[in-house]
Amino acid sequence: MSENWVFQLSLKDGSPMINVRSDTIEAFVKNIGELEQNKEPILVAIASFAPQKPEPARPAATPAPAPVVSPKPAGAEVGPVYVKGISKTALKKDGTPMRSPRFTVEFSNGKRLSTFDEMVAGSAETLSGQQVYYSTETKGEFTNLTSVRRAS
34-82 pLDDT tens trace: 878 877 877 776 666 666 677 788 887 887 787 665 555 555 889 999 9
Measure the CA–CA gap between 106 and 87, rounded to whole angstroms.
9
Average pLDDT over residues 13-32: 79
Write down the H helix ranges in the chain: 25-37, 39-48, 118-126
Among 12-21, 98-107, 115-124, name the one with the lowest average pLDDT: 12-21
User: What is the pLDDT at residue 70?
Assistant: 53
Q: What is the pTM of this model?
A: 0.50
Q: Which of 135, 131, 134 is nearest to 152 (CA)?
A: 131
Q: Who's near 138: CB < 8 A, 6+ residues apart?
A: 70, 144
Is residue 141 classed as helix, strand or coil in its secondary structure? coil
